[in-house]
Structure 1
């Protein structure tokens, strides 16, 4: 295994399985099953964050505030008269938000994380993190403005926006997203439960006008869940700030020294080439790294994140992807044979001229025998891919490029093809125009190109 692959194994396959693999690794070099919590605000506690990361003999902890109900009651009684700025403002965005004037509705999240600091809360910089935490435990987080437009919120254009940003994990392994990233040194990370919110990427997909065409969230990489500003004290479970152990290093310091590999659009990312897994159950780990040439066969990826992953020539044969976030992914010539995709996101982030790598790259991939349900393949480049025996139900192919793909025998049922590019052949028309598919009137039927889309290592024509 590559060095980074070894260090991330604990995060990918979970605590129990990693312990079973301890003979291959130095057990003392890993934080498994979650970050270690030290020097708690309120009490010493363990905060199971759902992922871990190898840091050699160094580690980053969070100082977390976990209290009993009696302790919380005492704190709230003490600080009940101390109000955070804006706490009396009207709460907006609880029932619905708007996108281009249309209503979108929230869902309830079991656990979210919000990064903040004294300045954002309107509190003096002289207040300690402990004092700020006590006030938040007592009063919750204050309401904000009344603007419930999610596009203006994402673009940070509205000073009166109603929402505050949260993420599903405290910090991405790429270290460029998450509540801890936005809180930064000296800030606070607030863990919340049972909060209603809006997946900004999903809500804005195909609804934001960019360069004369509709695209998605212009800040897709933030992975934000927008929640109404007012958060009641009962929804706040823990509060933490960054803590560096004497022999440790920060996430950013570790990432700066970790091995990197060339990436097709981002210059370079964490080097996880040579990773080999089979029959593993993978949860909310993050594979936003260079995985080229890896083998991950017969695995189950449940809510796993592959955002911006480079997975060229990877072998995922027989794997299951359940609510996996893979938008965008760069996986030319990868093997997805007999895989299952259930409610996944593989879509590109914008039209081709939006930015380099705007389309997800699935050129010349093997999707033979794939079964995909309720999965977004919007703005995916499938040119030269193999789809024999594949079945797609209620999937989206908005602006997808399916030129050079033999669609004979492929099943599409209830799928959407708005502005997709497809070779104009009798077989393609037979499978696309049937099966109760939608938006096929706007398909861009292309003249089959004499160039072979199966040539390796060569860019196919646009």
Structure 2
């Protein structure tokens, strides 16, 4: 069903299976709305706020989101390949079994986001805020994470093979829990890595 939105605020609405293909959405807020199985292919959002909304099986590929917010939303089996997020907040949202490659994400806040098990191989995540994010078993091999904030992130079995971590803010838990084969780090980070693994650096002979 093709839908043309006319209001600026929606709460507790059922948008299941609606078709918003190619539509331009601006200045709208959605609270506790269900977009399951909806189609937002090639949709454009600007300053749109989604709070506690559900995107189960939703088609969002090739969509573009600028200065929008997805706060505490759930994405399950959503198609996000080719989507772009620029200056967005995704705080507290969860992504489960979603298609996420390729994905463009710039200057975004992903604090408390759950990306457990997500495949983000090769995605540019530089400068992003990923504080306290759930990255358990995520695949971020080859990712650009320069200057990203990974403070407090859960990183058990996080795959960072070949990732660029220079300038990233990282806790000891990530240095210990993640797979870091071939990852690029700065000298000061290498010292922190060694200390997290119990090595004594320097000192008298």
Same fold, TM exceeding 0.5?
Answer: yes
Aligned to 1:408: 166
Contact 2:160 2:183 in 1 (8 A): no
- Matched residues in 1 for 2:187 and 2:96: separation? 28
Give 1:185-224 correspondences, 5 Å limit.
none
Q: Which runs of 5+ in 2 are unaligned?
A: 19-31, 199-205
Contact 1:399 1:417 in 2 (8 A): no
1:314 to 1:394, Cα distance in 2 relative to 1, 3 A: same
- Matched residues in 1 for 2:183 and 2:115: separation? 26
Aligned to 2:13: 51
- Matched residues in 1 for 2:76 and 2:110: separation? 16
Q: Secondary structure at the match of 1:277?
A: strand
- Matched residues in 1 for 2:115 and 2:127: separation? 18
How many angstroms does 1:427 deviate by? 1.9
- The equivalent position to 1:346 in structure 2, one of 115, 120, 126, is 115
- Matched residues in 2 for 1:308 and 1:392: separation? 25
Aligned to 2:123: 365
- Matched residues in 2 for 1:370 and 1:419: separation? 20
Aligned to 1:308: 77
Contact 1:363 1:385 in 2 (8 A): yes
- The equivalent position to 2:89 in structure 1, one of 314, 320, 324, is 320
Aligned to 2:52: 284
Question: Structure 1 or 2: larger strand share?
Answer: 1
Aligned to 1:19: 7
- Matched residues in 2 for 1:427 and 1:370: separation? 17
Contact 1:278 1:298 in 2 (8 A): yes
Aligned to 1:124: none
Q: Secondary structure at the match of 1:416?
A: helix
How many angstroms does 1:311 deviate by? 1.0
How many angstroms does 1:327 deviate by? 2.8
- The equivalent position to 2:144 in structure 1, one of 382, 386, 389, is 386
- Matched residues in 1 for 2:87 and 2:100: separation? 16
- Matched residues in 2 for 1:55 and 1:387: separation? 36
Larger Rg: 1
How many angstroms does 1:429 deviate by? 7.8
1:307 to 1:414, Cα distance in 2 relative to 1, 3 A: farther
**Could you give the per-residue CA deviations for residues 136-158 of structure 1, whole angstroms, max 9, x where no partner exists?**
xxxxxxxxxxxxxxxxxxxxxxx
When the two structures are superposed, what TM-score results if normalisation uses the length of structure 2?
0.74
1:433 to 1:347, Cα distance in 2 relative to 1, 3 A: farther
**Could you give the per-residue CA deviations for residues 69-88 of structure 1, whole angstroms, max 9, x where no partner exists?**
xxxxxxxxxxxxxxxxxxxx
Q: Secondary structure at the match of 1:336?
A: strand
Q: Which runs of 5+ in 1 are unaligned?
A: 11-17, 22-31, 34-49, 57-168, 175-268, 349-359, 442-462
When the two structures are superposed, what TM-score results if normalisation uses the length of structure 1?
0.35
Q: Secondary structure at the match of 1:341?
A: coil
Contact 1:406 1:428 in 2 (8 A): no
1:378 to 1:409, Cα distance in 2 relative to 1, 3 A: same
- Matched residues in 1 for 2:184 and 2:143: separation? 18
Aligned to 1:235: none
- Matched residues in 1 for 2:135 and 2:17: separation? 36
**Could you give the per-residue CA deviations for residues 166-217 of structure 1, whole angstroms, max 9, x where no partner exists?**
xxx8x9654xxxxxxxxxxxxxxxxxxxxxxxxxxxxxxxxxxxxxxxxxxx
Aligned to 1:107: none
- Matched residues in 1 for 2:116 and 2:190: separation? 19
How many angstroms does 1:412 deviate by? 0.9
Count of aligned residue pairs for this structure pair: 184
Contact 2:111 2:133 in 1 (8 A): yes
Aligned to 1:423: 181
